[in-house]
Amino acid sequence: MGMDTKDMMNEMGAAFAVTWLVMGYTVWTGDAGASGVELIGIGMSGIMAVAALGVAWMAFAGAHILPPVTWMHIMTGDLADADSWMANGTKLAMQVVGGALALIMMSSINDGGVTYAESMGGAAMAAWEFDAMTIAGGVAAGAILWCIHSKADNAWATAVGVVALGGYIGATGSTDMASMLMNEMGDLVPTLLDWLVTGISVGLGALVATKIDENL
The whole-chain average pLDDT of the chain stands at: 89
Q: Are the CB atoms for 179 and 116 separated by under 8 Å?
A: yes
Q: Is 175 helix (H, G, I), strand (E, B) or coil?
A: helix
Give which of 134, 152, 141, 116 is closest to 66, Cα–Cα. Answer: 141
184 or 170: whose pLDDT is higher? 170
Identify the CATH number of the domain in which residue 114 sits. Answer: 1.20.1080.10
Give which of 91, 56, 46, 208 is closest to 138, Cα–Cα. Answer: 208
Domain count, the chain: 1
Alpha carbons 100 and 40: distance in angstroms, whole number: 16
Average pLDDT rounded to a whole number, residues 122-133? 74
What residues have CB less than 8 Å from 208, skipping those under 6 apart? 139, 142, 143
Q: What percent of the chain has pLDDT over 90?
A: 64
Q: What is the pTM of this model?
A: 0.90
DSSP structure string for 86-153: HHHHHHHHHHHHHHHHHHHHHHHHSSSBPPHHHHTTTSPPPPP---HHHHHHHHHHHHHHHHIIIII-
- pLDDT for 184 equals 62
The per-residue pLDDT for range 72-94, each reduced to its tens digit, is 999 999 999 999 999 999 999 99
What residues have CB less than 8 Å from 7, skipping those under 6 apart? 62, 87, 90
- Domain carrying residue 194: 5-214
Alpha carbons 69 and 60: distance in angstroms, whole number: 14
Q: Is the pLDDT of residue 118 over 80?
A: no
Average pLDDT rounded to a whole number, residues 160-183? 90
Per-residue confidence band for 129, with pLDDT thresholds at 50, 70 and 90: confident
The per-residue pLDDT for range 175-184, each reduced to its tens digit, is 888 888 887 6
Per-residue confidence band for 99, with pLDDT thresholds at 50, 70 and 90: very high
Alpha carbons 146 and 168: distance in angstroms, whole number: 13
What residues have CB less than 8 Å from 166, skipping those under 6 apart? 44, 45, 172
- pLDDT for 3 equals 62
